[in-house]
Structure 1
């Protein structure tokens, strides 16, 4: 009978610790989701800026084509060079933005690892 209070105290402590652990896991998950949302925003900014550069490149390439067709001279080649450079920059920007949006970059790894560790600790304690 002397063990009963100790067992009750142990169970109370275990329940309290489990509740605290659940609260900490939830806070960690919220923080990590916030970070991932910011990462998505950065990726979207990269994509949008890349698309804007691609649009500018298209305008310049079209201008170069018009100039080249109407008057084949050095100014058209200069416009063509600028258009190609902008097209390359647009490609790099969109590629960098899409890299940020890959599913593997958006997984809340710290939360998952922490939850696995907590589950193992609870199993070991039981």
Structure 2
């Protein structure tokens, strides 16, 4: 798939950098929406750790590496299609218009970025 961004690791999901609540520790469950959760793979990056450079590479202050269990891969979609979809909300595909959105013919996954959809191997 030419638009694929990430693919599931051996833990059964993709790992993405996400903003997490203050005090998040590795192993904590992160409620992202009513239908999607993650598991912190690293502690959340504190301001002090970020300032000292004592944080995992690629993470920003307030972020952690988060495993999205069951999400097999992610792919790019037009940001304009996803503009009306809340972050971590379900994303649907509409056959007639060939577009993604908050409603449609089939659920394809969840919005995990401005133009990124995280999808399960089979909904």
The bucket for the TM-score relative to the shorter chain is under 0.3
Structure in which a larger fraction of residues adopt strand:
2
TM-score by length of 1: 0.21
Larger radius of gyration between Structure 1 and Structure 2: 1
